[in-house]
Structure 1
Amino acid sequence: MEDDRQNSTALTYCVTGATGYVGSWLVKSLLRRGHTVHAAVRDPAKSLHLLSTWNGGKRLQLFRASLHDDGSYDEAIKGCDGVFHVAAPMQFDVHESTDAYVHSNIIDPAVQGTLNLLKSCLKSKSVRRVVFTSSISTITAKDSAGNWRDIVDESCRTPIDHVWKAKTSGWVYVLLKLLTEEAAFQFAREKGIDIVSVVTTTVGGPFLTSSVPSSIRVLLSPITGEIEMFRILSAVNSRMGSVGVVHIEDLCNAHIFLMEHAEAEGRYMCCADSCPMSKLIRNLAKNYPQSNIITRLVDQENESVPAEISSKKLRDLGFNYKHLAEDIIRETVTACINFGFLPSLAT
């Protein structure tokens, strides 16, 4: 599935959040290219199940690190050529809704954690670039007047004040991504750190984690019936006019491509394909027909796609996607059946 070609210039990279969906696959991708990987995790014991899958041998080292502890990443980043900052709290909503609580208990620690990581990059003297994993949650397809844009790209950021006011499903995660990315770029500009971010759409495909990743649960929510996950998917569709998707392999390839491409700068949308909710649900129905929720949802959806989610900036650098929506959904369903998250299809 992945590119097995050995890189002629083997480098050393640190990956934060290495036990997560994107982080674990990114570690695997880097090792298969012949690089050395410093996998930074909060609890190394919880990553033991990944060791045989990663198969990194002496080129893989595990480091205990936490974003909440200043200097915690110093050893993991020491001697690295680049850092992939994937780690992020996966907190979508909170029961305690006061702004002060969210700021002091969720937002501020997340922002400070990102700054702690960047301080470790400065100390290393070896890190040449940081690639930050952002999210489509930071993007909106509507302009300031509430009208649909024709093209949606990296510049179409969701206004922070609107997130605080609307508090739609997943709003805490939206704030986390918006504010940590903003703080990272500001700190990088001030300190002369080369930083690039990948604005990822909903991720699907196979996974290495010991539980089903949140993005897959969101993507499959029309057939699993997980109400909170479907609310998040609906919020994405409402904000974007469609659901953008990307295969985990393409996403990790994009991270590595942007790390290694000398001309890369700023933010890059990573969207292989997009479709309205009705098309997404029909595609899910095709690959997993055992569901009572699909027909009812399809009938409620409009076919039009008001805006194009554009990866032109990334494609213009020379990046190409291998997987489109139908392929992504098929592999996601298959992976979840094999994992036991979805019951096997009746024969």
Structure 2
Amino acid sequence: MSIGSGPAAGFRSLEGMDGADSPSSPSAVATTTVCVTGATGYIGSWLVRSLLRRGYNVHATARDTGKASRLLSTFSGNSGLKIFRSDLNEEGSFDEAVKGCLAVFHVAASMEFNVPVEENIEDHVRSKITEPAVRGTLNVLQACSRAGSVKRIVFTSSISTITAKDDKGEWRELVDESSVTPINGVWNTKPRGWVYILSKLLTEEKAFQFAKEKCIDLVSIIPPTVAGPFLTTDVPASVQVLLSPVTGDPNLYPILVSVHSRLGSIPLVHIEDICNAHIFLMEQQGAEGKFLCSVGSSTLPQLTDLLSLEYPYFSSERFAKGFHNAIPPVISSKRLTNLGFKFKYGVKDIIEQSVACCIKNGFLKCPITEGINN
């Protein structure tokens, strides 16, 4: 079944929307309903709030509706919010949530980085993680196909699907949406976080395949490490990974190092910017394919220097050695910015706000130092 006759077919005119995370006045969005899966997660919860502030009606899905209600019902504009219990593992459980929606943001995903089993590990990963992840994504897309109202799906991918090294293991000068991590290479080398990398690669691949077969308009947004403030009660995994040099987390710091070894730096985006980019791609009629969304990158020594400036309890000296001094590849978001998207926050803003929110949350101790906000 075809959903629309072209990119964003059937969308109302959304002229005058400037991309800011603020309430929108145009009546064009007043009766527009969209769906967000994984609405209690880091990106999902912020995206729900951003959409409500713009005047959209939002169908938010979560496995735990009680948790979703406690978090999301506090947002301004929540009269336009409906919460639905949906589970990626249950076929048909998204049907009611997407019914009547013009667009769907598929944000929900497993955050498994590694697995504890050692024997038959590949069979375990296939049967317990990657195959359920693919089925879950197809459950959402099938619900969209059955609904008949959905004109565009925005799929949240990951920078883990991208590599800065070519087939010969040499550094690329420019990294963009075409710099895809080979699936076979992940199975063979099993780098840190390899389970999550595989899950994202396979779900994105199957999503585009299904969308092409069913003539569904699907675009994919590729976030790097997402950080900044958060609305969830728990510190998001991506923020914990970013701050792992400070916390010394033995499981998360190697993931940061793995990102650096694959990309030559740590690309970043602010949580507000990534959510604005989701909405921008939903509204842009000319959007198609994949879009990398990174405002900038820092090498690990540069990142730790920034962390030490914002959090004086932390010393970056021990991180200064052991990383190549060559100019890192450029992580390009030109496909996105050429469409007209503008980033609001830079790398320094992201670090500063991540540290401040984690101090306020109690995840980091509060230094008795002038300049650090409580």
TM-score, shorter chain, exceeding 0.5: yes
Q: Does 1:209 align with 2:232?
A: yes
Residue 136 (str. 1) matches residue 171 (str. 2): no
Residue 343 of structure 1 corresponds to 365
Aligned-partner Cα distance in 2 for 1:61–1:3:
20
The residue number in structure 1 matching 2:5 is none
Unaligned runs of 5+ in 2: 1-19, 370-374
Answer 1 or 2: which has greater helix percent: 1
- Give the secondary structure class of the aligned counterpart of 2:297: strand
Paired residues of 2:24 and 2:53 also in contact (CA < 8 A):
yes
Q: After superposition, what is the alpha-carbon deviation per residue over 1:248-289, rounded to whole angstroms, capped at 9, x for unaligned?
A: 000000000000100000000000011111101100010011
Contact 2:45–2:72 at 8 Å: present in 1 too? Answer: no
Report what 2:185 is aligned to.
162
User: Which of 341, 351, 360 is the aligned partner of 1:319?
Assistant: 341
The 8 Å contact of residues 278 and 302 in structure 1, kept in 2 or not, is answered as no
Query: Quick one: percent identity of the two aligned structures?
Result: 53
**The one of 90, 96, 100 aligned to 1:69:** 90
Q: What corresponds to 2:24 in structure 1? A: 5
Deviation at 1:305, TM superposition (A): 3.1
2:213 maps to 1:190: yes
Name the counterpart of 2:99.
78
The Cα shift of 1:6 comes to 2.8
- Please name the residue that 1:56 is paired with: 77
Q: 1:341 to 1:223 in 2, by over 3 A?
A: same
The one-letter amino acid paired with 1:305 is I
TM-score (norm 2): 0.91
Q: Which residue of 1 aligns with 2:7?
A: none
Deviates more, 1:18-27 or 1:271-280: 271-280
Q: Secondary structure at the match of 2:233?
A: coil
Identify which of 252, 271, 279 aligns with 1:229: 252
Q: CA RMSD in A?
A: 1.2
Worse overlay, 116-125 or 53-62: 53-62
- Gaps in structure 1 of 5+ consecutive residues: none
SS in 2 for 1:299: coil
Change (3 A) 1:142 1:40: same
The 1:339/1:159 distance shift into structure 2, 3 A limit, reads same
Aligned in 2, Cα 1:240/1:258: closer, same or farther, shift over 3 Å?
same
Q: Which residue of the other structure, out of 111, 120, 125, is the alignment partner of 1:102? A: 125
Q: Secondary structure at the match of 1:336?
A: helix
| 1:50 Cα deviation from its structure 2 partner | 1.3
**TM-score of the two chains, using structure 1 as the length reference:** 0.97
In the alignment, the residues of structure 2 paired with residue 247 and residue 261 of structure 1 have an alpha-carbon distance, to the nearest angstrom, of: 21
Matched, 1:255 2:278: yes
SS at match of 2:320: helix
Residue of structure 2 in register with 1:19 after alignment: 40
**Could you tell which deviates more after superposition, 310-319 or 51-60?**
51-60
1:63 alignment partner, SS class: strand
Report runs of 4+ in structure 1 exceeding 4 Å deviation.
Answer: none
CA distance in 2, matches of 1:299, 1:53: 46
Counterpart code for 2:339: L
Tell me: CA distance 1:7–1:171, structure 2 relative to 1, closer, same or farther (3 Å): farther
- Paired residues in the alignment total 346
Query: What is the letter of the counterpart of residue 111 of structure 1?
Result: V
Question: Which residue does the alignment assign to 2:58?
Answer: 37
8 Å Cα contact 1:276/1:304 also seen in 2: no
Q: Which amino acid aligns with 1:325?
A: V
How far did residue 22 of structure 1 move?
0.1
Paired with 2:78 and 2:278, the residues of 1 have a C-alpha distance of: 23
- The one-letter amino acid paired with 1:103 is R
The structural deviation recorded for 1:301 is 3.2
| Aligned-pair CA distance for 1:46 | 1.2
| Contact 2:89-2:135 within 8 A present in 1 as well | yes
Task: Give the whole-Å Cα distance in 1 for the aligned partners of 2:115 and 2:81.
Answer: 37
Residue 267 of structure 1 aligns with which residue? Answer: 290
